Structure 1
Amino acid sequence: MDTQRLERIATHLDRAYLQPGKLPGAMTLVARRGEITYLHSQGLMDVERNKPVQRDTLFRIYSMTKPVTSIALMQLYEQGRFLLDDPVHKYIPSWAKLRVYKSGIHPQFLTTAPERPMSIRDLLTHQSGLTYGFMNRTNVDAAYRALKLDGGTGHTLERLVDELSRLPLEFSPGSAWNYSVSTDVVGYLVQVLSGMTLDEYLAEHVFKPLGMIDTAFTVPTDKIERLAACYQYQPGDQFSLQDDPAHSAFTRAHGYLSGGGGLVSSMDDYYRFAQALANRGEYQGARIIGRKTLEFMRMNHLPGNQDLPGVSVGAFSETPYEGSGFGLGFSVKTDVAKSQTNGSVGEYGWGGMASTNFFIDPQEDLLMIFLTQLIPSSSYQIRQELRAIINGALVD
């Protein structure tokens, strides 16, 4: 890679985002063929306390938790614990009589029977018929908000699964794509199938083997000083404090082990995870997933090899829709020209609500991780801009 061209990353972020006050700070890593070729921190991790972004800064990675949880479930697939076409109610009996929304508002819904039962693959690919409360799109997601199913005081995985057993699906499983709490349910299945809590399972089977010492659902007291502040986009390209590290729920045992968005991590930790995927499942001798299993996960699992616009019923995602399909826990680029962003067919990855993002390009043996803390992730087009710069630095 041309290192001078990679320096455009810092120049661009500083000129376009940091100096104008659009972003508090950021850290970007680029690696190729197993070696870090670019790693740069800039700006502030905590504006109020004037603390610069450091290499060991802890970030809320939100939905970049999803690939971690999906890998965990597929580890159990490799042990023969389940099959992808197994109905979810085989492992969550209370879901045996799930219905599909027809009309009405919570709690008075008119429903119909699904065309087929929800499968585990439906959960991994967000074709389950579940949703998120923050979508603000349907009467079903309004029920999620009323019941506080996106998190909050007293929320647990067990309560989520129990409440969902009584709510209708937005569509019959497998018939459409909608970003949702599906991966939280994947985390619940990890618990059911392994007999361990999700935090215990991830610590033992993902974090410990890879040496990820700073990734967890709760930041311990001795690491709070390293937790970045999180900010909320404000009109006029400004931001305000959204979550102060001194009072953050992420620093207290909160009981909700969200496999869809609950982890806090560091650049070095997430790099170990991403590099393990780039290495076809292993990092420094520790294998977390089989080569063939990972190849299976990063195929496009949408029906008829369609991309997201062909099957999506909602407008929210952590990736541009055009030219992207979806695998078992990641988005997958299916058409570079259609995506209108430089890259390769087969590139996969995901992002988080606070504008974090990662991608892996198997064709180029390339990966990128971008960490910042600005909600929502749709505030700016940074992810596509970074792809343009990074792919422009490939010289062989």
Structure 2
Amino acid sequence: MFRRALLVAVSMGVATLAGVAALTGGKPASALAQDPLEGVTAVLDKYIDAGELAGAVSLVYHRGEVQVSARGVQDLETGTPMARDTIFGLASMTKPITAVAVMMLVEEGKLDLDAPVDPWLPELAEPKVLSDPNGPLDQVYDAPRAVTPRDLLRYTMGLGFPEWAGIASEAPIAQEFAAMRRGDFTADEYMERLGALPLAFAPGERWVYHTPSMVAGVLIERASGMGLAEFFRTRIFEPLGMPDTGFWVPAAKRHRLASYYRGGEQPGTLVPVADNGTRYAAPPKFPSAGGGLVSTVDDYLRFGRMLLGRGELDGVRILSAASVDEMLTDQLPEEPERRFFLFEDFWRGAGFGLGLQITTEQSEGGPSVGSFWWHGATGVQWTADPQQDLIFLRFIQRGDVPRGFGAEYMQALYSAIRP
């Protein structure tokens, strides 16, 4: 599911780009020529017409101007047209928001980026490390140092999804993680269960995905004295003007929630993979700081513009410029075996800072050096390109992104930006 095409590319029925000005409050699209951008909508239409996508929303912010194209439907059964304000599950696009929240607490002096998390997360104190990540859980050694908030934000705490770190699925630690995924925990129960496990790798040794974000969410709650949903809402979403972002969708907005699909056995078919009647229907018992939020393209644009503005948007400062710079500094280990994720060359031309992937080498037809992002397994994607003063968001509701779609979309977009 997390192929490079998904994470980097990894992953209103017939509105035309001629009508986009109406969707953006009548502003002229001076920064983006409309004719070239028709190629972006043509890519969306190609895959929708082929039955590979139900619908899509594409938003492009470039040098102060915004264009939006909403195509297809948000639900195949009802035929509800896709719209600019359709709500999507963000999946791992939640993670950059979690990283910002941690950095806010660092700035306030409630956390130290490089100090042990033990006072807030005693379950992780004095960790043990597996002698062999694939070996027995009782063959361990004392960790050389404690886990820090930096480890949580750059995914080097030593625990994470084992299968994406090259650990065999039959390994004892992988079996324990599989059992945890089936569990229904509170935050405290989750930490108790996690803390009973040894680390697969010593802190700082290896990049291992997802779990550190879940732990970071608990750290935010305990260090701030607020629930995660309340912290996000009052400290980030309300100040930035993001009214449709949260961990659940209230009844009055549920008609705007996009259904979620995967590709069917036959080309051009889609199969529902979640019940829209229950998805995000109530506040979760344990909000997922690694993938639990929902949002719209306009809401997430506000978040992206804040980062593009080095912590500030429309006079509202969320983070200092120095903190944003730290988030955008590549912190991946240099050795290939210490940075492995999914496959050997996943990080080709890219690095990872604190909660964000960063372009370190520009590919033909792709984002400029210094661009940053982190996408989501539900098919949602965003990228901020500081060199171009550009943010694009491409939201679809299919995690197994159709082959070729991401590359074609990117090529069409950057052909318009760099004619």
After TM superposition, the score normalised by the length of structure 1 is: 0.90
Which one-letter code corresponds to 1:368 in the other structure? F
Residue in structure 2 matched with residue 110 of structure 1 by the alignment: 139
2:174 is aligned with 1:141: yes
Residue in structure 2 matched with residue 124 of structure 1 by the alignment: 153
Tell me the distance in 1 between the aligned counterparts of 2:309 and 2:50. Answer: 38
Residue in structure 1 matched with residue 103 of structure 2 by the alignment: 74
Give the counterpart of 2:205 among 172, 175, 191: 175
Which one-letter code corresponds to 1:315 in the other structure? L
Which one-letter code corresponds to 1:146 in the other structure? A
Residue in structure 2 matched with residue 4 of structure 1 by the alignment: 35
What percentage of residue pairs aligned between the two structures are identical? 33
Unaligned stretches of 5+ in structure 1?
Answer: none
Cα RMSD (Å): 2.4
State the shift of 1:169 in Å: 1.7
2:49 is aligned with 1:19: yes
Report the secondary structure of 1:128's partner residue. coil
In the TM superposition, 1:245-264 aligns within 5 A as 245-248=276-279, 250-264=280-294
State the shift of 1:114 in Å: 2.4
State the shift of 1:261 in Å: 0.3
Give the counterpart of 2:85 among 56, 68, 88: 56
Residue in structure 1 matched with residue 275 of structure 2 by the alignment: 244
> Is the CA contact 1:2–1:395 (under 8 Å) kept in the aligned structure 2?
no
> Is the CA contact 1:103–1:109 (under 8 Å) kept in the aligned structure 2?
no
2:203 is aligned with 1:203: no
The 1:169–1:384 alpha-carbon spacing in structure 2 relative to 1, beyond 3 Å, is farther
Tell me the distance in 2 between the aligned counterparts of 1:381 and 1:186. Answer: 34
Residue in structure 2 matched with residue 315 of structure 1 by the alignment: 342
The 1:233–1:200 alpha-carbon spacing in structure 2 relative to 1, beyond 3 Å, is same
Cα distance per residue 1:168-191 (max 9 Å; x no partner): 222112112121211111111111
Residue in structure 1 matched with residue 318 of structure 2 by the alignment: 288
State the shift of 1:247 in Å: 2.7
Tell me the distance in 1 between the aligned counterparts of 2:186 and 2:136. Answer: 21
The 1:291–1:382 alpha-carbon spacing in structure 2 relative to 1, beyond 3 Å, is farther
State the shift of 1:330 in Å: 0.3
Residue in structure 2 matched with residue 326 of structure 1 by the alignment: 352
The 1:124–1:145 alpha-carbon spacing in structure 2 relative to 1, beyond 3 Å, is same
State the shift of 1:121 in Å: 0.8
Cα distance per residue 1:296-324 (max 9 Å; x no partner): 111101235x7xx563233079x952111
Residue in structure 2 matched with residue 356 of structure 1 by the alignment: 380
Which one-letter code corresponds to 2:288 in the other structure? S
Residue in structure 2 matched with residue 217 of structure 1 by the alignment: 247
The 1:185–1:72 alpha-carbon spacing in structure 2 relative to 1, beyond 3 Å, is same
Cα distance per residue 1:51-80 (max 9 Å; x no partner): 111111110011000011111111111112
2:127 is aligned with 1:94: no
State the shift of 1:382 in Å: 3.4
How many pairs does the alignment contain? 383
Which one-letter code corresponds to 1:75 in the other structure? M
Which one-letter code corresponds to 1:209 in the other structure? P
Tell me the distance in 2 between the aligned counterparts of 1:137 and 1:180. Answer: 17
Which one-letter code corresponds to 1:5 in the other structure? P
Tell me the distance in 2 between the aligned counterparts of 1:106 and 1:59. Answer: 40
State the shift of 1:214 in Å: 0.8
> Is the CA contact 2:260–2:398 (under 8 Å) kept in the aligned structure 1?
yes
Unaligned stretches of 5+ in structure 2?
Answer: 1-31
Residue in structure 1 matched with residue 29 of structure 2 by the alignment: none
> Is the CA contact 1:131–1:141 (under 8 Å) kept in the aligned structure 2?
no
State the shift of 1:244 in Å: 2.6
The 1:169–1:104 alpha-carbon spacing in structure 2 relative to 1, beyond 3 Å, is closer
Tell me the distance in 1 between the aligned counterparts of 2:151 and 2:408. Answer: 31
Tell me the distance in 1 between the aligned counterparts of 2:192 and 2:403. Answer: 36
Tell me the distance in 1 between the aligned counterparts of 2:197 and 2:263. Answer: 32
After TM superposition, the score normalised by the length of structure 2 is: 0.85
State the shift of 1:282 in Å: 1.9
